[in-house]
Amino acid sequence: MDKSDLQMQNVIMYEDFKIKLGKRIKEVRESKKLSREDVAFSAGFSGSYMGMIERAEYDFRITKLYSIAKVLNISLSDLLKDID
């Protein structure tokens, strides 16, 4: 496997991770009967940004993920559970 193949594989794995994480965030949010806007506002960003995270359309920082977990009242490790 050459360098470009390895880079492409990493990109695919990262995109897959973002998709799974976005679905997990949405699943937890909905199970707690919270709107996207409520979570976003409490975490300190916009509802549209939250939507982009849930749809895996945006790269985000771990600090944003931490804020989302806090609003959802779960640990970051529980939010990431079974994502890989």
pLDDT tens across 8-17, in order? 888 888 889 9
Q: How confident is the model at residue 3 (pLDDT cuts 50, 70, 90)?
A: confident
Q: How confident is the model at residue 55 (pLDDT cuts 50, 70, 90)?
A: very high
47 within 8 A of 40, measured Cβ to Cβ: yes
Provide the mean pLDDT of the chain.
91
Indicate the range of 22-31, 49-58, 75-84 predicted with least confidence.
Answer: 75-84
pTM assigned to the model: 0.84
56 within 8 A of 18, measured Cβ to Cβ: yes
CA 45 to chain centroid = 14
- Class assignment of domain 3-79? mainly alpha
**Domain ranges within the chain, ordered by starting residue:** 3-79
39 within 8 A of 50, measured Cβ to Cβ: yes
